């Protein structure tokens, strides 16, 4: 499996491009082969797969994370549609604390985003009937599930939807801003 891995403006967040073999039927791609990821320095043991479907563009999910000992790294890709995927650095001692990565992921590109532990993750759908799939290196634990408010103006995220037009869960609307959230990741 040939991996093309790019560090982004926050170097621990990686954009991963996998080769596709195309013919008249469509394409084939190996999206995850552990030994190939490990050979490229990505040594996560993914233990859970998650999938979400969003019916409308402008659906926002996030910004979510889990606290230790159930903190999660995620490997995110889009199976159908397009999203703006966002990772916010929550590591207080990091020079990029409070900064974010926002990148388009789509079914067409097949690109994946590696979101390491210490980041809040969320996305906004750009198309109807968008399906997002991600691997996590720790199981979901409701007691360790946390988040920060997606619309926190101090994060300066250029979401592709206005706050009053976004489709957001009541849970996500009630999440605290970054400056009101407890420090979890030093």
| Catalytic residue list | 64, 134
What are the residues whose beta carbons fall under 8 Å from the beta carbon of 83, sequence distance 6 or more?
104, 105, 106, 123, 124, 125, 126, 130, 132
Q: Can the peptide bond before residue 136 be classed as cis, meaning omega within 30 degrees of 0?
A: no
Q: What is the DSSP annotation of 124-179?
A: EESSSSEEEEEEESS---GGGEEE--TT-GGG----SS-TTT-B--HHHHTPPPGG
48-54: strand order across its sheet: 3-7, 14-18, 112-115, 74-80, 130-136, 48-54
């Amino acid at each position: 499996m040939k991996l093309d891995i790019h560090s982004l403006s926050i170097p621990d967040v990686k954009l991963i491009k996998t080769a596709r073999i195309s013919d008249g039927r469509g394409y084939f791609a190996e999206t995850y082969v552990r030994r190939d990821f490990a050979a490229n320095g990505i040594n996560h043991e993914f233990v859970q797969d998650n999938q979400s479907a969003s019916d409308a563009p402008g659906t926002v999910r996030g910004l979510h994370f889990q606290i230790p000992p159930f903190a999660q790294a995620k490997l995110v890709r889009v199976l159908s549609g397009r999203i703006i995927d966002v990772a916010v650095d929550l590591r207080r001692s990091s020079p990029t604390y409070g900064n974010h990565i926002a990148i388009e992921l789509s079914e067409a590109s097949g690109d994946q985003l590696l979101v390491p532990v210490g980041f809040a993750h969320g996305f906004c759908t750009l198309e109807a009937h968008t399906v997002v799939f991600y691997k996590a290196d720790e199981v979901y634990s409701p007691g360790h599930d946390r988040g920060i408010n997606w619309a926190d103006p101090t994060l300066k995220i250029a979401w592709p939807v206005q706050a009053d037009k976004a489709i957001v869960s009541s849970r996500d609307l009630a999440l605290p801003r970054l400056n009101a959230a407890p420090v979890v990741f030093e």
